[in-house]
Amino acid sequence: MFVVSEKVLIIDDEMHIVELLRFNLETSGYKTIYSYDGFDGFIKAKEEKPDLILLDWMLPNISGIEVLKKIRQDADLKKIPVIMLTAKNMEDDKVEGLEVGADDYITKPFSIKELLARITSVMRRYGMNTGKESEELTAGNLKLNLTKHEVKINDKKVDLTLKEFELLKLLLKNRGKVLSRNFLLDEIWGYEYYGETRTVDVHIRYLRKKLEEAGADEKYIETIRGVGYKID
């Protein structure tokens, strides 16, 4: 199973940014809630008591910095870590955000991997448990142990390459979700990888073969034609 714990509130008026953040955060094991407006975001923070807030600076009606001030003045919310998201890149703006009480600051456009690293770092400073992964991910007679970095079928070890292991881990973490070839390519090979999506298909084919040869009791990885792959 995949255990999630920390809840992240996203306050940003750009829908595509919110969807991008939600998808990547949930893929990484976080629960998410969101708002496109500062006033509504503050109310959601009061209602949901998130573990961390991602707060855009440029919001309609009320700026992110004003929302941050309200958060830091609220007895129930003042200890919640806040990371500011903004297109502003001026030193004075960063200083203002940090002086008001932002825990960190990241400028758009940003790398998702960098943002996730900053979230982990901030939560660690607050003494939160950022180990969201359970020790083991399972499906039928398949077991993937995250700590030992090994895969077993009926307790028999399956010898996988690093990329095959990472592919299987990502699919197991997202059981029931269809992961596109482009997403898998970006996540496993990196955003700077200039390969083709058929690289994913080749690795999936080898991964399936190894699982079947090891005695998998079913064909775990399902192909969704024209889209990608999933494990139910």
Phi, psi of 153 (to 5 degrees): -120, 120
- Domain positions in the chain: 7-125, 136-231
CA–CA distance, 182 with 84 (Å, rounded to integer): 28
Q: What string of pLDDT tens digits covers the 232 residues of the chain? A: 344 468 999 999 999 999 999 998 988 888 899 999 999 999 999 999 999 999 998 898 899 999 999 999 998 898 899 999 887 666 666 677 677 788 888 888 888 888 888 888 888 777 665 554 457 888 888 889 887 788 999 888 999 888 888 899 889 888 888 888 888 887 777 654 555 677 888 999 999 999 988 888 777 899 998 889 998 8
Tokens, residue 208? 């399936």
Classify domain 136-231 by CATH number. 1.10.10.10
Q: Is the peptide bond before 109 cis (omega within 30 degrees of 0)?
A: yes
pLDDT at position 204: 92
pLDDT in tens, 207-230: 999 998 888 877 789 999 888 999
CA–CA distance, 194 with 213 (Å, rounded to integer): 31
Classify domain 7-125 by CATH number. 3.40.50.2300
Phi, psi of 72 (to 5 degrees): -70, -20
